[in-house]
A and B are shown apart, each in its own frame.
Chain A
Amino acid sequence: MFAALLEAVPDAMVCTAADGLVVLVNAQAERLFGYERAELIGQPVQILVPDTARAEHPSHLAMYPADPQHRPMGAGLALAGRRRDASTFPAEISLSAIDTGEGILVAAAIRDVTAQLRMKDLERASESRESFIYAVSHDLRAPLRALSGYSGVLLEDYGGVLGEEGRGYAERIVAVSEQMRDLLDYLMQVSHLARAELHLESVDLGAEAARIVEQIQRREPERRVRFTIQQPVPAWADSGLIRTVLENLLENAWKFTSGQDDASIEFGTAPSEDAAVCCYVRDDGIGFDPAYAGKLFQPFQRLHAARDFPATGTGTGLASVRQIVELHGGRVWAEGAVGVGATFYFTLDGKEST
């Protein structure tokens, strides 16, 4: 009965008698330590303890029945188990005493925590990588400011000496510095987002979109663009981050309809089977070649040459959109054709699933 119970436990179980000899093990213990059951029964439990810890083990073992509470073993210590082939693994072990009527058995539940430790290491490594990226992109701004600054001084104070060609080169240094600044800003944002915690709340995406559209229009009031904004569009999201998503998408729509007299831009929702809400931003602007749709959301990719669209930026806007949406557990995709326009979709999870 007791042995059957032991087999049902997910952890490896090893029971020892007061003399420190193994009296009972389960199949999980056989698998974990690489021993056959028969090889373990009657052996001192120390054969499962790494050489380095073996010397102290008998005294600890002897002390346990004196204070037999169920407890994790060596709390805060890095424990390890020893396999038959002498290899070791990091372990979490908890002990309990069982009074069988024929003396007290000490039952040890052993769990291999290699995977958990590796996850922790990975998390730590990724965290320090993100803060490294943040620090580097921050520190690179100072020399960049000097580069842009001194080129600007050359232009303003020595423009005459430089001549037209020389001024052209200095202007390029200023322009390239700005481009690099945008790239650094993107890097900082990515590393910041990777460490960010989402503050989810109820947001009306329609109202947000309307606010953004108002700001965009105010910048170029002479442009005639028909906006259709669905309201309300309730969603569960981090309001600051989701505003960045809407800003990027609406700014793009505005930018890529700039050559048109009578453009229309639409924000709305589409039915979705797998998400709480599916939104889209649609424009009838220059569109894109669907063959390159996969590249749209990759950082530093631009489908339109900078000389055709001087305001295209660094090609990081949609990459930010994707990162933020995925952080929310949603996904992004785009549909479009050259000369017809583009539609960008994103989904968000509901309150329960995030």
Chain B
Amino acid sequence: MTGRTILLVEDNPDDEALTLRAFDKSNIHNKVIVKRDGAEALAYLFPGDGDGDGNGNGNDDAPYPALILLDLNLPKVGGLEVLRRMRADERTQMIPVVVLTSSKLEEDVLVSYRNGANAYVRKPVKFSEFTEAVKALGVFWLLLNEPVPSVAPKLGLR
């Protein structure tokens, strides 16, 4: 189970620290890759596509993440754009994406679902609720939920 990685796309270092700790405390010890803006996330998901060096970023053997936690308000490339590009590419089309954000604007929720988000969670301010939310997400998407059956595509393969 620990072989399945989580991709956390989050630019706020505090939210990153608290999310990582929450996973740890919930005994979810899957590898967590952190990308701090949308461009970094895209370069990770589509190596060779974004940074132009064509070397695949050395991620060629890394499996696609089993779960992506995506903030909306990100530097460079926004979360929605990341989501849109993921859904447009068959390699990343079906990876569960949970939008994890501060916004509770109806339009943000709506446009996230419209672009193929699997869930939308507003980051709770209260520490215990935040920890519970991260734990619940990990447990549901990594343990309970049956992943898309596939031949485990690898990053960098076309």
The residues of A with any CB-CB pair to B shorter than 8 Å are 138-139, 141-146, 148-153, 156, 174, 177-178, 181
Contacts and interface: CB of A to CB of B under 8 A. Distances in A.
Closest 5 CB pairs of A and B: A152-B127, A146-B14, A181-B125, A149-B18, A148-B127
Contacts of A152: 127-128, 131
B76 interface: no
B102 A138 contact: yes
Contacts of B130: 145, 148-149
A311 to B, nearest CB: 15
Nearest to B103: A138
Contacts of B154: none
B125 A145 contact: yes
A142 B14 contact: yes
Contacts of A178: 125-126
Contacts of B127: 145, 148-149, 151-153, 174
B25 to A, nearest CB: 8
Interface residues of B, number: 17
30 contacts: A138-B102, A138-B103, A139-B102, A141-B123, A142-B102, A143-B14, A144-B125, A145-B124, A145-B125, A145-B127, A146-B12, A146-B14, A146-B18, A148-B127, A149-B14, A149-B17, A149-B127, A149-B130, A150-B14, A150-B18, A151-B127, A153-B18, A153-B127, A156-B25, A174-B126, A177-B125, A177-B126, A178-B125, A178-B126, A181-B125
Interface of B: 12, 14-15, 17-18, 21, 25, 102-103, 123-128, 130-131
A174 B129 CA distance: 12
A152 B131 CA distance: 10
B41 to A, nearest CB: 19
A190 to B, nearest CB: 15
Nearest to B18: A149
Nearest to A184: B125
A153 B18 CA distance: 9
Nearest to A144: B125
A149 B126 CA distance: 7
Contacts of A150: 14, 18
Contact of B14 (A138, A145, A181): A145
Given A150-B14, A153-B127, A181-B126, 14 more contacts: A138-B103, A139-B102, A141-B125, A142-B102, A143-B14, A144-B125, A145-B125, A145-B127, A146-B14, A146-B15, A148-B125, A152-B128, A156-B25, A181-B125
A121 B25 CA distance: 53
A219 B103 CA distance: 28
